[in-house]
Amino acid sequence: TESFIPTEERPLSIEVGQRVWVKSLGREGEVLTKEDSSGRVQVQVGKAKAKVSASDLRRVEGGGTKKGGGIHIPAALVPSRDVSDRIDVRGMTFDEASAVVDRYLDDVYLAGLNTITIIHGKGTGALREKIGAFLQKHPRVKSQRMGEWNEGGSGVTIVEIQ
């Protein structure tokens, strides 16, 4: 697959379907709408959609279009219906689980979710402890706690998003 490398140049013209780097999110996305009267564009980043300022977009190497049109956006977020409020990492190693949870936290942040549940299972508690330490350092996490008995108890961690 082709790798996309952001450059510091703002696209001269933004087209629907164009691959762009969304500077404020630090992620690559695809332009979904033309620039509106306030200079904003809707982009798809992962499973989430966001409205951002055109000045926040950067050209990416090989960032052609799939369709055709024009766009720009600042960070007003549009919730995505594709993002669940829970993720199951049971049976994964910590390295696998941390990568999945990290990406998931970005997606739920962009989707505007406030509280999520991470299902890690009870077992020896090793995955729960490592996930807990990982979450303490994560910039998107406001707080975390073990689930109540009716939420899954020690087999889940309830996370409040910033």
Q: What tens digit of pLDDT does each residue of 19-74 get?
A: 888 777 777 888 888 888 888 888 887 777 777 888 888 877 665 555 444 333 33
Residues 103 and 73 in one domain: no
Identify the pLDDT of residue 12.
Answer: 57
Percent of the chain with pLDDT over 90: 27
Residues 59 and 115 in one domain: no
pTM of the model as a whole: 0.52
Structure tokens at 79: 């919730």
Split into its structural domains, the chain has a count of 2
Confirm if 110 and 80 have CB atoms less than 8 A apart.
yes
Containing structural domain, residue 121: 86-161
Residues 92 and 153 in one domain: yes
Domain membership of residue 157 (yes or no) is yes
**Beta-carbon-side half-sphere exposure of residue 52 (alpha carbons within 13 Å):** 26
